[in-house]
Amino acid sequence: MRDTSTDISFATDDDVHLEGSWHPAANALGVVVATHPHPQFGGDMHNTAPATFARTLPPAGFSVLRFNFRGVGRSSGVHDDGNAEHLDVVAAIEEAHRLAPELPLSLIGYSFGADIVLDVVDERVQSFVAIAPPLRMFADFATATDGRRKHLVSPAHDQFCPPAEATERTAGWVNTSHAVLEQTDHFLLGATNAMVAETLSVLTPTPN
């Protein structure tokens, strides 16, 4: 399949310039912003999860914007322990909305990136998918009381937040579902197809 991706750059409200990659879908049904794992442990937009989404979601009808958080790769700025990274996600939402203003938009995060997207409330977002969220970045997550759909996907042997703990931590969250990826751990070895299937189950194209 011909690669139609485009390298992009966009700025946050605090003037940090982020490196990104845009993967358009033909006859797109929706658009996704995908975030990566912890920058201080080697995480970037080329990680298995965002790279898999960039490869598999466009053929399924969903354009993907993946990007490097501040201080990663060619993105300017410095890592901020998950605080200013909220601005990075909002800037990515803004860029995805600019590129595809007519499409419903969803946030997908993996690990560190999952915790960040679960703490971003933006009116342009339709749904949230959190892959292997540690659920430790914040005492209270902003989306917990938000009525839009949230889908958590926990690896059965997650070293940082196993399924039972994720269920306990999100008890009482509004409109939140939870799935388990069997026979894998936090690093998703052998489970990327199941991860994509769980994600596609949420990306229902409904009008804003």
At 53, the amino acid letter reads F
Count of Cβ atoms closer than 10 Å to residue 149 Cβ = 17
**What is the structure's pLDDT at 4?**
87
Q: In the chain, what are the domains?
A: 6-200 (3.40.50.1820)
Higher-pLDDT residue of 148 and 1 is 148
- Closest to 1 (Cα-Cα) out of 45, 55, 50, 53: 55
Q: Report helix, strand or coil for 118.
A: coil
- Asked if residues 68 and 45 have their Cβ atoms less than 8 Å apart, the reply is yes
**What is the structure's pLDDT at 3?**
75
At 92, the amino acid letter reads A
Question: Distance between CA 22 and CA 147 in Å, rounded?
Answer: 28
Mean pLDDT of 14-33: 97
Question: Distance between CA 165 and CA 160 in Å, rounded?
Answer: 9
Mean pLDDT of 185-191: 97
Pairing between β-strand 105-110 and β-strand 6-11 as defined by DSSP bridges:
unpaired
Give the single-character DSSP code of 145.
G
Q: pLDDT, tens digit, for every residue of 124-176?
A: 999 999 999 999 999 999 999 999 999 999 999 999 999 999 999 999 999 99
Mean pLDDT of 43-61: 97
Asked if the model's pLDDT at residue 62 lies above 70, the reply is: yes
Angstrom CA distances, 16 to 56, 83, 108, 181, 191, stand at: 29, 14, 21, 35, 34
Quick one: pLDDT band at residue 208, thresholds 50, 70, 90?
Answer: very low
Phi and psi at residue 124, in whole multiples of 5°? -80, -10
Count of Cβ atoms closer than 10 Å to residue 109 Cβ = 27
Q: Identify the helix (H) or strand (E) that includes residue 114.
A: helix 112-117
**What is the structure's pLDDT at 2?**
66
Q: Report helix, strand or coil for 155.
A: strand
Mean pLDDT of 44-63: 97
Asked if the model's pLDDT at residue 204 lies above 90, the reply is: no
Question: Distance between CA 186 and CA 117 in Å, rounded?
Answer: 18
Mean pLDDT of 111-119: 98
Question: If you compute the radius of gyration of the chain from its CA atoms, what whole number of angstroms results?
Answer: 15
User: Structure pTM?
Assistant: 0.95
Mean per-residue pLDDT of the chain: 96
